Structure 1
Amino acid sequence: MRDLLYMAEAKDRIEFKMLEHESVGDDTVSFKLEDGTIVKVKVSLERVGIATNYRNPDGTPHYAVNSAVKVYIIPADKRFTMPKNQVSGAAAPQERPSPSHIT
């Protein structure tokens, strides 16, 4: 009975084979704002897979893609702040917020 339940669940699942990947070209795009601030956007692939037991309705392969987007803000004066407790030798650190130049 347990095997039948597993087989029924398996029919409702799409299986994927993980694919290796490499970056082709730049992974970062930079924009300069009118106030001189630079905005950098970095895109990366975390995991990519191709379905082994399913195809799209038009017959093409079905992919699962997990990606990450990171945005960096670089002020025109290139200054930023951070709490003193993040400096070595300062008081014991508590919760560490991100530096002010990363959103």
Structure 2
Amino acid sequence: MAEGKDRIEFHMLDHESVGDDTVTFKLEDGTVVKVKVSLERVGIATNYKNPDGTSHYAVSTAAKVYIIPHDRRFTMPKGKVAGGQQDRPSPSHIA
């Protein structure tokens, strides 16, 4: 088989979101789960068709899941607080 004959080539397509890209669920304990779906890359085959003659697409997706506790509280290490002094030495001119 000649080089390239066993490969499907794709033309990348631009895309835009139509409608809401997030689905929200509320659990019985009051926790909210949000799932956001996005397209990373979409292409249409330029040298291949599906067996029924329709266009063949390659679609790469991503899903992000956000959990919002019912009390809307969370924690983080003190060292991660912006402007915090936990992990920084004091300047030499301050006693």
**TM tier relative to shorter chain:** 0.7 to 0.9
Q: Find the aligned partners of 1:10 and 1:59 in 2 and give their Cα distance.
A: 21
For the residue of structure 2 that corresponds to 1:66, the secondary structure is strand
Q: Find the aligned partners of 2:55 and 2:78 in 1 and give their Cα distance.
A: 52
Q: Which runs of 4+ in 1 moved over 2 A?
A: none
Within the candidate set 35, 42, 49, 1:41 is matched to 35
Alignment-mate amino acid for residue 29 of structure 1: V
TM-score normalised to structure 1 length: 0.79
- More helix per residue: 1
For the residue of structure 1 that corresponds to 2:2, the secondary structure is helix
Alignment-mate amino acid for residue 66 of structure 1: S
Give ranges in structure 2 of 5+ residues lacking alignment. Answer: 89-95
For the residue of structure 1 that corresponds to 2:4, the secondary structure is helix
Give ranges in structure 1 of 5+ residues lacking alignment. Answer: 1-6, 93-103
Q: How many residues align?
A: 86
Determine what percentage of the aligned residue pairs are the same residue: 79
1:62 lines up with 2:53 in the alignment = no
**TM superposition shift of 1:83:** 1.4
- More strand per residue: 2
Q: Return the index of the structure with the highest Cα Rg.
A: 2
Alignment-mate amino acid for residue 72 of structure 1: Y
Within the candidate set 18, 29, 36, 2:23 is matched to 29
